[in-house]
Amino acid sequence: MKRLILMAFMLISGVAFAQTEGYKVGDVVKDFSLKNVNNKMVALADYKDAKGYIVVFTCNTCPVAKAYQARISALNAAYAAKGYPVIAINPNDAEAVPDESFQKMQALASEKKFNFPYLLDPDHIVTKQFGATKTPHVFVLNKTDKGNVVEYIGAIDNDPEEANTTKVEYVKNAINELSTGKKPAIASTKAVGCSIKWKKAKYNLATIADEFAYIA
Amino acid sequence: MRIFSIICLSLIAYCATAQVRLLKLDELDKRIANGKDTTYVINFWATWCSPCVAELPNFEKLRLANLKKPVKVLLVSLDFKSKLQKEVIPFVQQNKVNAEVFLLNEPDQQQYIERIDKKWSGAIPATLFVNKKARRFYEKEFTETELKNTLLNLK
């Protein structure tokens, strides 16, 4: 019984912790090595000439992410040559959503002719490091002597449906500012997106919480 | 005869679209302001959001349990406007959703997210409990019991 209470406490504090983790603007990013759709591993350090990165958490199935696919390709086309390549990461678990499988990622990347890496993040390790919560979710990084510093977190623009007459292109603006040595004027934004489809936990949290409430 | 058929046709068209209306935040604010003692339980959802779809029946139960009370359940979809006819209306019909359903007609997410609640990250499901005296916003999924208790404890 005591063990159960302890476990419930650990789980609850674990969840509370999970909500606060993740990079904030100004944090230095830990490098990662993830498998690309071409089966090769990709790390930030592979890009020797990069001045920074556009890390995009995106996926195969989310309607919002799909609406942004062409814009993500366009970002890479415009900024990779200027030193800011797009690195796309799929944070979703394929067991939770079969259409998020590696094979389906490969199919999408070849169908849409992705000109940037599209990486698998099994067990959500990198996703959790970044603190990504939805797709699409962008982190603009700036390479410095300290490491890769997060300079912008949020949406690509404020116009998911391409219907906003007062469109602001947050990511483009942030990179334009960074490339002239300035800090982005808008360093974080909010957006509606699809929640990340996490791997199912071995313990059902709700059941344990109920049990805990019963004991208490 | 011609006029009659025009009226019929427009009535049919009206019924088909009447189930889901486009909604501006100004209209929502006005409705709340004019609501006297009504408490509005406003759920933000989308057809593509599986946890949202899963909790919709809980909102229907809340609505049915409060039919005689000054409580209104409003379901505000954040689906794209272009999906209104093709996805949102068919979804509402197929799932026999009886609460009032709207599709949010605001182009700028950044603005409307902040306006609905400063603490909202933009993740859905999210629910706003609001009347003239209280305003509580929750970025979470609700069980039937949680909905009932949150409504009861709203001060």
- pLDDT tens digits along A32-78: 999 999 999 999 999 999 999 999 999 999 999 999 999 999 999 99
Measured between beta carbons, the chain B residues lying within 8 angstroms of A192 are 46, 78, 109, 113, 122-124
Q: Which pLDDT score, from 0 to 100, does residue B59 have?
A: 98
User: Sorting pLDDT into bands at 50, 70 and 90, what band is A21?
Assistant: confident
| Cβ contact, residue pair A161, B82, below 8 Å | yes
Cβ distance A113 to A142 under 8 Å? no
Give residue B16's Cα distance to chain centre: 18
Output the 3-class SS for chain A. Answer: CHHHHHHHHHHHHHHHHHHHCCCCCCCEECCCEEEECCCCEEEHHHCCCCCEEEEEECCCCCHHHHHHHHHHHHHHHHHCCCCCCEEEEECCCCCCCHHHCHHHHHHHHHHCCCCCCEEECHHHHHHHHHCCCEECEEEEEEECCCCEEEEEEECCCCCCCCCCCCCCCHHHHHHHHHHCCCCCCCCECCCCCEECCCCCCCCCHHHHHHHHHHHC
Packed helices A170-179 and A63-79: angle between N→C axes, nearest 10 degrees: 20
Cβ distance B55 to B128 under 8 Å? no
Measured between beta carbons, the chain B residues lying within 8 angstroms of A160 are 80, 109
Question: How large a percentage of chain A has pLDDT more than 70?
Answer: 84
Residue A214: Cβ within 10 Å count: 7
Burial of A157 (0-12, 13-18, 19+ CB in 10 A): buried
Architecture of the domain spanning B20-152: 3-Layer(aba) Sandwich (3.40)
Q: Which of A216, A56, A200, A25 is nearest to A134 (CA)?
A: A56
Give residue A68's Cα distance to chain centre: 14
Residue of B nearest to A96 (CA): B50
Of B48, B108, B111, the CB nearest to A63: B48
Tokens at residue A23, please? 């990079």
- Has residue A6 got a pLDDT over 60? no
Of A64, A67, A166, the CB nearest to B108: A166
User: Sorting pLDDT into bands at 50, 70 and 90, what band is B8?
Assistant: low
Cβ distance A154 to A188 under 8 Å? yes
Top pLDDT among B12 and A142 is at A142
CATH homologous superfamily, domain A23-201:
Glutaredoxin (3.40.30.10)
Mean pLDDT of A121-133: 96
For the stretch B19-57, pLDDT in tens is 899 999 999 999 999 999 999 999 999 999 989 999 999
